[in-house]
Chain A
Amino acid sequence: MDTSKRAKQEYDQMVKKASPNSPIFTNCLKAFFSGGLICGFGQLLLDYFSKTNSQEDAALLVSVTLIAISAILTGFGLYEKLGKHCGAGTIIPITGFANSVVSPAIEFKKEGLIFGTGAKMFILAGPVIVYGTFTSMIVGLIYYFVGR
């Protein structure tokens, strides 16, 4: 079989043609409604918590509540069922972040609580924290010298 560079390029085209695209329109529609609903639910919580707390505390309480709900759903194996249909709608909200922490924590439990759950908990969330922290430092640095 021809394995020249040209044949590889041709094959790449064949593969692209043969592989069906994700149904992007329906996926987006589902992501919009599911993601929107999670955020809307967050807003209801925010309105509720704002009655008795400062705005900042209320926002934190919303996050903690959503994270807790997501963790429980993940524990029962329900969040992945939602995720299968909702896609980004359940990845982008903070519940998706919680799911990415909880799911490896459960999956790698068999390798022990230290090197399994403890270490693998961060395989997906670790990068988020690393790059989030790093970016925040840069923002802080710029703000310190030019922003104020």
Chain B
Amino acid sequence: MGVKKIGKQTVRLSEGVRILAAASTVSKKEGEGPLGKYFDKIVEDSTFGEKSWELAESRFIRENMELVVQKAGLKMNDMDYLLCGDLLNQCTASTFGIMDFQIPFFGLYGACSTMGESMCLGAMLIDGGFANHTLVGASSHFCGAEKQFRAPLSLGNQRPPSATWTVTGDGAVVLGKKGNFPCITEITTGKIMDMGVTDANNMGAAMAPAAVDVLINNFQDTGRKPQDYDVIATGDLGEIGRGLVVDLMKKEGFTMDGRFTDCGIEIFDKNTQDTHSGGSGCACSAVTFCAHFYPRLMSGEIGSMLFIPTGALLSTTSSQQGQNIPGIAHGVVIEGCGEKEDK
């Protein structure tokens, strides 16, 4: 067992890694949602002036990454590593989005949990002494995801009530060593969980067990309970998935109260925006963290939070071959600016 490892799935970073800046760029629908005024940039046209949805996503990534580095008061060349991913086949949105930066790059695929995965690994790189600054993020595009995973946009079909709506945009943060910024202190890496869900229109149900596994392991490894955090936020479980997590956690003897929310519930207003169970996609947790939670961590309003982006591991091939939809989730413990002196 490594010296920084505490318990089965959790590591405690020796210094803590600071989140120097966070930026979010989204499309019109997200801008019309409850978090609309907090996003850094809202692009009215989701093609972003590009020829295809795929190129549009790349542009979301490129412009948002440039923005976050600028917000951190740094230059792109200061970044030692770039870690990000998306939902398109072979992560091509990321490839073409960040290619011009010419920075050492680890492409990631964690489905919609990618923001968690990139933050975890980016922080570990710094804490391990391999980097001074890392740039990490995740993106998704509603139209690109529909085209690849579901049906052509102009096909007249109905979305069932359990369906979620892929968020269009990119969220990215710059990680570093020093300064009075929100601090990543612990990381709970998730395992792949398969509880036999096959309905591709009920992703919340597919991912809820993975979130529960991370929660339980985080509590066991750190000796905490849900009430020790000010906020626990899962990635894109939506209303249905959140409810399932509460039920599953009750069985395990934990009470998940109002501190527990889900980025997919925060980002859209399900009554007026017709998003059914909530938001989803890599960008869902990424932009919600950057626009909604980061400023509150920064101001000290949130003392500590457990951020758990969740992902459903399926492809059209695995789905058509009748495989189950396993889930994955990664937990990131972040301390706000107010309480840092304790550590």
Contacts and interface: CB of A to CB of B under 8 A. Distances in A.
Are chains A and B touching directly in their complex (CB below 8 angstroms)?
Answer: yes
Contact of B205 (A19, A82, A124): A19
B55 to A, nearest CB: 9
A119 to B, nearest CB: 13
A77 B154 contact: yes
A103 B205 CA distance: 30
A106 interface: yes
Contacts of A80: 153-157
Contacts of A54: none
Interface string B129-165: 0000000000000000001000111111111111000
Interface stretch (A3-11, A44-52, A60-68, A126-134): A3-11
Contacts, number: 102
B161 A19 contact: yes
A141 to B, nearest CB: 30
Chain A interface mostly: helix
Interface stretch (B80-88, B189-197, B301-309): B189-197
Interface stretch (B29-37, B89-97, B243-251): B243-251
Contacts of A82: 156
Question: Contact size class for B?
Answer: 20 to 34
Query: Among the interface residues B54, B152, B212, B248, which one has the most CB atoms of the partner chain A within 10 A?
Result: B152
A110 interface: yes
Contacts of B341: none
Q: Residue among B51, B155, B158, B161 with the most chain A CB within 10 A?
A: B155
Contacts of A21: 161
B156 A90 contact: yes
B209 interface: yes
Contacts of A124: 151, 155
Interface string A1-34: 1010001100110110011111100010000000
| Interchain residue pairs A-B with the least CB separation, the first 8 | A83-B156, A107-B152, A103-B152, A103-B154, A103-B155, A15-B205, A110-B52, A8-B196
